[in-house]
Copies of this chain bind each other. A is one copy, B any other.
């Protein structure tokens, strides 16, 4: 019998605000940070589970405290029992009635559960000697359905629906795995598009993106309309007509403003408008989607849980669904969301960037391709060329694609040297 011996947290912050990398209309000066967790066991294999919540600086210590509050759910528990029943493990944490009051199922406490769940998946994949995407792709449809909590979902997705989706994808798994290994998974890049960059830097980076094989780039918008029109024109001239350009407003607008603003950018052939308004506002997104059509609306990186994703899909309030590896309660909840997307026939284009988000989320898209939706049609994973050097298994992105990681684990392990170098020391 193997036992979890400790849950160790750390507060890691990178001083990214000094370079304006990551600057957008709502987040002018982020310091990319991780509220980090390591799960230790008494097994002889020496394997650890690593996970984190991505934040942008101040308050990272609050996120660390929330992860620490979950220790009694894992420390002292039987490792095999936790890992063999990840559905039950998830439900025991999300269902902790006292902790649930702090959400419910949203914000700091829910993201903390995500970090611990992801760390357990990292450990499970390492013990299996498989990258997470492959571990998930080799589970049976029945095992996958057991991971999902269907409470509050059955008016849109039942366990029977989920089984049907997963069984339909089962025959093609081996073939698609080969295809993935041979061709990678399509990526797009946000590197050129930060608001804080000069026109010259924008054009240079857009040209580089095309040269690097990316079929899509993305620009931050919503600061000044005049600037946005100029930057979109420059970007379109730089990349030509065959590279897609997405836009991202980072929640700046109300309904009327979003529709009006986008009417001025439509001429540049916009791939999507991302986060036009509050991530909580289903009805506003639905109204905006009608108003900016045929430009698709994309959102999800700040969406708190599967219940919100369900409603956005029911209301046709998004046409591109963006999962995030650390916003919801980990791998289990993201599988629920991938199933919802498949049920509604909506493409999933993950949010990534930050620190470690690319490393983590690629596993979910690759699993989705191999064993769930069975397609990459209309799907791209966001990529930002930033901070990858701090990870044990950094992404391999080239020729406009993510190349499948083969190392065991969930991709969520940061180098211990980086954790030590960027450990945050509070003033008080």
A contact set with B: CB distance below 8 Å:
26-31, 55-59, 61-63, 65-66, 69, 96-112, 151-155, 251, 254-256, 277-284, 287, 302, 304-305, 307-308, 310-311, 314-315
**Which residues from B are CB-within-8-Å of A105?**
278, 280
The reply to whether B56 and A61 form a contact with Cβ atoms under 8 Å apart is no
Contacts of A153 in B (CB 8 A): 254
Are B154 and A256 in contact, CB atoms less than 8 angstroms apart?
yes
Contact partner of A97 (CB less than 8 A), chosen from B28, B254, B283, is B28
Distance to closest chain B CB from A280 (angstroms): 4
Q: Which residue of B lies closest to A100 (CB)?
A: B26
Q: How many copies does the complex hold?
A: 2
Q: Which residues of B contact A151 (CB under 8 A)?
A: 254, 278
Residues of B within 8 A of A284 (CB): 152, 155
Docked Cα-Cα span, A66 to B26, in Å, equals 21
A61 partner residues in chain B, CB cutoff 8 A: 65, 69
A98 touching B154 in the complex, CB below 8 Å, given contacts A106-B106, A107-B108, A280-B308 = no
A104: chain B residues within 8 A (beta carbon): 251, 278-279, 302
Least Cβ distance of A15 to chain B in Å?
13
Write out the residue numbers on chain B whose beta carbons fall within 8 Å of the beta carbon of A30: 97-98, 101
Closest B residue to A66 by beta carbon equals B62
A283→B307 CA distance, assembly (Å): 10
- Whether the pair A109, B106 counts as a contact (CB closer than 8 A) is no
A108–B108 alpha-carbon span in the complex (Å):
6
In the complex, what residues of B have CB within 8 A of residue A62's CB?
62, 65-66, 69, 102, 108-109, 112
A140 CB to nearest B CB, Å = 26
